[in-house]
A and B are shown apart, each in its own frame.
Chain A
């Protein structure tokens, strides 16, 4: 008891101070892109154009946001439409991938199907498989399935992601078989077991996957660029890019749009933060 107390009143050593200083500096450096992003959104135009650029804002304004609304109102498609597109495709992809990957991982780990163990091992190799080589065939599949210029083209290919399957597998394999057996004895069918036992026990994997999948889909500019042709179905990253390409006159609007596009990602992360970190730590244990 006494020993523990003494630990609390540890003296401030030079080493400890140094440690804090180093950590704070590093943390600030890591947070720089985010700070820069927020600060830039509130810079008036003359500060945006300043050379050499200044990091912090001197006279913060909301002028960028109003100019964003201005540029977008003059276009045929209103900003809210892009927002709607982004929200719909992202939410559907996230929900789909959570369902598909968790169901797949559960059956691979616990339902003793023939060949499933070997198959799930292949998935691990698929993790490192680089995407560019396969973009053309995916495009061909999407176009043959008649999904071009359709929300589905941004949703369906995003369901079966090896990384998320792998994460779910790590968690499902740690559920004891006895628990599942006792559920069965209590009259739970396979689906009920999945819904009442597997899903609740893999909650932290689910929240991690929600965050990652949300980020990936929300920020995806490749999909809408390739598959979507009509302006009314494009998503936010595309608009962001076209605003950013508008040159100096649109610089303020671009900064504001960047800020608005990033905000949901940050919010989602803040809400799920502790669980995400837990999952990453947990899944790393058994390399």
Chain B
């Protein structure tokens, strides 16, 4: 009996390895190996691009990034600031929307589709062009309006009217606000869906019991909904941080790719990639540790 069983498992094992092989190979070749190799590359100097030989360079690339490169550090700080500001807003916003969507609404399905739409366009050239256009338009509007004020021409355009009413600073602030809102709204499609899933697992009976005890909506939110979705808040926060830091529109990533593939500065590009990778990883882990203190797992 025992022999028979082990025969079966060994046969199963053979199939098992056959099943895993493609995945393993792909994962090793296109994830693990590149990661290790780029780490090595970041500590080296490419002697000759044609014959491609490496020299050990120690921390030179990293030192260059921090002390020589005048563009990288400001970009990095900008991006990190953006992540730190936008992540909490995205999480709160998506929880808010998910709670609204979880109510008994008509056309619920339609709303859910609408909130997921930006995710569909999110990765492509298309979104680049559109967001580029809109952002440009907003800042151009403000600028144009400023000019038209300066030359005191007729105020006919919308932007002109805006400036006439609010003044240049506020018009500019509003256009920035529009850009920010757009970023937040269009980044929260997946988060909303994940929150919705969590909300739907909360038993209706909890709310009924609270209702019998005379709880108000507000109290129900603080005492029932919020504690029960804390694990999902944790998940979504980490997801949002990762999403922001691997997003193709990210300025640091663009800069890194340009250094690597336009200037063909392979070693330096790897070092930049690693700096950013480590920092965004630390942020995600910190967020995880901090939020876990407030998370209750039933």
Contacts and interface: CB of A to CB of B under 8 A. Distances in A.
B261 A135 contact: yes
Contact of B20 (A108, A254, A284): A108
Contact of A53 (B137, B231, B261): B137
The dominant DSSP class at the B interface is helix
Contact of A241 (B15, B33, B41, B125): B125
A237 B105 CA distance: 39
A128 B17 CA distance: 26
A287 B234 contact: yes
Contacts of B196: 281
Interface stretch (A56-64, A71-79, A97-105): A97-105
B277 A165 contact: no
B121 A285 contact: no
Contacts of A27: 110-111, 114-115
A219 B277 CA distance: 24
Interface string B92-120: 00000100110101000111111111101
B185 interface: yes
Nearest to A261: B126
B11 to A, nearest CB: 8
A126 B190 CA distance: 19
A1 interface: no
B19 to A, nearest CB: 4
B22 A136 contact: no
A184 B297 CA distance: 36
A226 B261 contact: yes
B26 A160 contact: yes
Contacts of A276: 116
Contacts of B270: 133, 136
Interface in B110-144: 110-118, 120-121, 123-127, 129-131, 133-134, 137, 140-141, 144
Nearest to A282: B197
Instruction: Count chain B CB atoms within 10 A of each CB in A30, A111, A265 and give the residue with the most.
Output: A30
The dominant DSSP class at the A interface is helix
Contact of B186 (A23, A33, A218): A33
B105 A23 contact: yes
Interface string B22-45: 111111011101110110011000
B38 A133 contact: yes
Interface of A: 19-20, 22-23, 26-31, 33-34, 36-37, 51-53, 99-101, 103-108, 111-113, 116, 123, 126-138, 140-141, 156-157, 159-160, 162, 165, 189-191, 194, 215-216, 218-222, 226, 237, 240-241, 244, 254, 258, 261-262, 265-266, 269, 273-274, 276-277, 280-285, 287
Interface of B: 9, 12-13, 15-17, 19-20, 22-27, 29-31, 33-35, 37-38, 41-42, 97, 100-101, 103, 105, 109-118, 120-121, 123-127, 129-131, 133-134, 137, 140-141, 144, 157-159, 181, 185-186, 189-190, 193-198, 200-201, 231-232, 234-235, 238, 242, 245-246, 248, 253, 256-257, 260-261, 266, 269-270, 272-274, 276-277, 280-281, 284
10 contacts: A23-B105, A30-B189, A34-B117, A52-B141, A128-B281, A133-B270, A133-B276, A134-B273, A162-B31, A215-B123
